[in-house]
A and B are shown apart, each in its own frame.
Chain A
């Protein structure tokens, strides 16, 4: 079993981009169509950022690359993101 965390642990790094907690938003996987809260995705932290993978098909939903001076967000594995207003 590969060790990974839950998407909710990405709330801190993603807070640099989003004014709300985007881990509670529902995202649809571009590859398999599964739609669920980003908090339920599989989080793979690494030495220069993180990956979120779809819990259904394990394709990449989101990549965050942090070089120190810049931080880059690749969202192309998500075909939409839906927020609920409280």
Chain B
């Protein structure tokens, strides 16, 4: 399942927010994947020009289907097509799912602290879904999960209803930080995450949590630095910065 380009069929599309869409793909031969992995998507223009981008898998499905949530980027080469152009029945060239580093392992009993900046929530959602669906006998199935989700405004948040439902259980806590616009009646004004709010929201050093941080480069680096300064071991912090994979002539 690791090498080479294969053809996936788009079998479902749903609007996630005003600027993001979730695509459900069927990839013949796929038998599940690890939570946190990504796929590379390659688009080829009629003149042979190709563009490749990496997208995190959002779902945690056991079979040959997976979901990607794609945020449209201004001046993007690939995301506008995936958000607006693709329809059910279309085919996409896909490589993966790949990546064995930024993944949650159900065999790991550690508590897990997830920290998302914007669309960086996508691979973390795969981990939350994998955790919710884990075999109850696996050591990680009863591990405490926390998500700290920094997002511009309530209507820019992905997976709202599903996160609300999952956060009703004992195993997941979700904390939102709204950077530009808070929900009506919120006691907390909108503003960027700071070191103090971070330290209140995340699992304590004594819990020795496994951290997964995903977002834009500046967000990821700032948050990881704060955590190290607060005494969390650097080798417990895994990061994924998002961006393009370049294009080939």
Interface residues in chain A, defined as those with a beta carbon under 8 Å from any beta carbon in chain B: 1, 3-9, 11-13, 15-16, 19-21, 23-24, 37, 39-40, 45-50, 66, 68
**Given that A5-B241, A47-B247 are contacting pairs, would A15 and B217 also be in contact in the complex, using a CB cutoff of 8 Å?**
no
A66 to B40, CA, bound (A): 15
Residue among B4, B40, B101 making CB contact with A24, cutoff 8 Å: B101
What 0/1 readout, one digit per residue, does chain B (222-249) give for beta carbons within 8 Å of chain A? 0000000000000000011111111111
A47 to B40, CA, bound (A): 15
A48 touches B248 (CB 8 A): yes
The answer, yes or no, to whether B131 is at the interface (CB within 8 Å) is no
The answer, yes or no, to whether B96 is at the interface (CB within 8 Å) is yes
B54 touches A12 (CB 8 A): yes
A15 touches B38 (CB 8 A): no
B249 touches A11 (CB 8 A): no
**Given that A23-B101, A50-B246 are contacting pairs, would A8 and B96 also be in contact in the complex, using a CB cutoff of 8 Å?**
no
What 0/1 readout, one digit per residue, does chain B (88-121) give for beta carbons within 8 Å of chain A? 0000000110111110000000000000000000
Contacts of A9 in B (CB 8 A): 38, 54, 99, 240, 243, 245
B3 touches A16 (CB 8 A): yes
Closest to B50 in A: A68
Q: Total A-B residue pairs with C-beta atoms closer than 8 Å?
A: 91
Q: Is the interface of B mostly helix, strand, loop or mixed?
A: mixed
Give, as a whole number of angstroms, the nearest-CB distance from B229 to chain A: 18
Chain B: interface residue count, which band?
A: 20 to 34
Contacts of A49 in B (CB 8 A): 246, 248
B99 touches A23 (CB 8 A): yes
Contacts of A37 in B (CB 8 A): 101
Contacts of A4 in B (CB 8 A): 217, 241
Residue among B3, B96, B248 making CB contact with A66, cutoff 8 Å: B248
Give, as a whole number of angstroms, the nearest-CB distance from B245 to chain A: 5
Give, as a whole number of angstroms, the nearest-CB distance from A42 to chain B: 9
A15 touches B102 (CB 8 A): no
Closest to A21 in B: B100
